[in-house]
Amino acid sequence: MPTWPDDDVILFDGICIFCSRWVRFVAARDTAKRFRFTPIQSDYGAKLARTFGINPDDPDTNAVVHGGEALMKSDAALTVLSQLPGWGWVRILFAVPKPLRDPFYSFIARNRYRIFGKYESCFVPDRDLRARVIE
């Protein structure tokens, strides 16, 4: 598996309303400001996506680079949540086998625009969050 020089970077679909809400959810709870964010529509995000085999034009997952490795789908979401204050309890969900977790994740990912909608252009964060976005 390829490596990435930056750690604790969350790759997300910047036009997906659900994905953008996920970023705001994480940012609001990440009191240590550990995580940084990159929309897949940015040059940096597209390069990160391609490095890990994600199609930037049709992303089917978010990803997080954590501990030097890229995690995808339910592993990415659970890893991020488990690092947030008060959310360590989600680690227990890693006991659910990945072949059971990922289909649920994939269903939401495939239908995210239909269920939650999408922005016409990439999500623009407020000034505080903007400092944590890599483009």
In a domain, residue 4? The reply is no
Which contacts of 4-8 are long-range, i.e. CB under 8 A and separated by 24 or more positions? 4/48, 4/51, 4/52, 4/65, 4/68, 4/70, 6/36, 6/65, 6/134, 7/65, 7/66, 7/67, 7/68, 8/34, 8/35, 8/36, 8/64, 8/65, 8/66
In a domain, residue 135? The reply is no
In a domain, residue 75? The reply is yes
Predicted confidence band of residue 62 (pLDDT cuts 50, 70, 90): confident
Domain count, the chain: 1
In a domain, residue 110? The reply is yes
Q: Give the predicted TM-score (pTM) of the model.
A: 0.90
Predicted confidence band of residue 92 (pLDDT cuts 50, 70, 90): very high
Report percent pLDDT > 70 for the chain.
98
Give the separation between CA 125 and CA 19, rounded to whole angstroms.
12
In a domain, residue 67? The reply is yes
In a domain, residue 18? The reply is yes
pLDDT at 1: 63
